[in-house]
């Protein structure tokens, strides 16, 4: 399961804090690169979330349209 954007942004902030507090240059470089990677992952997670939301909305719209023309418009609502 892929992490959500909020998690990625928290990780990015943590890595940026680590980079700013680092005394050793190699630790600073690695933490900066890790922060950039988390930022890219946050972008990816946001794109996936938008696509998923659009797909769900599209699916709901198609289901509602098919119920309008159905002989049994209550199908799918049975409990």
| Sequential pLDDT tens for the chain (79 residues) | 788 999 999 999 999 999 999 999 999 999 999 999 999 999 999 999 999 888 877 776 656 666 566 566 666 665 5
Q: Are 15 and 41 in contact (CB under 8 A)?
A: no
pLDDT of residue 1: 74
Instruction: Please give the model's pTM, rounded to 2 decimal places.
Output: 0.68
Residue in 35, 33, 28 with CA at minimum distance from that of residue 14 = 35
pLDDT of residue 26: 97
Instruction: Name residues whose C-beta falls within 8 Å of residue 12's C-beta, 6 or more positions apart in sequence.
Output: 35, 38, 39, 42
pLDDT of residue 2: 80
């Amino acid at each position: 399961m892929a992490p959500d954007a909020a998690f990625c942004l928290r990780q990015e902030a943590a890595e940026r804090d680590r980079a700013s507090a680092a005394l050793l240059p190699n630790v600073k470089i690695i933490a900066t690169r890790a922060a950039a990677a988390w930022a890219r992952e946050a972008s990816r997670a946001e794109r996936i979330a938008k696509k998923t939301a659009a797909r769900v909305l599209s699916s709901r719209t198609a289901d509602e349209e098919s119920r309008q023309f159905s002989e049994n418009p209550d199908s799918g609502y049975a409990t």
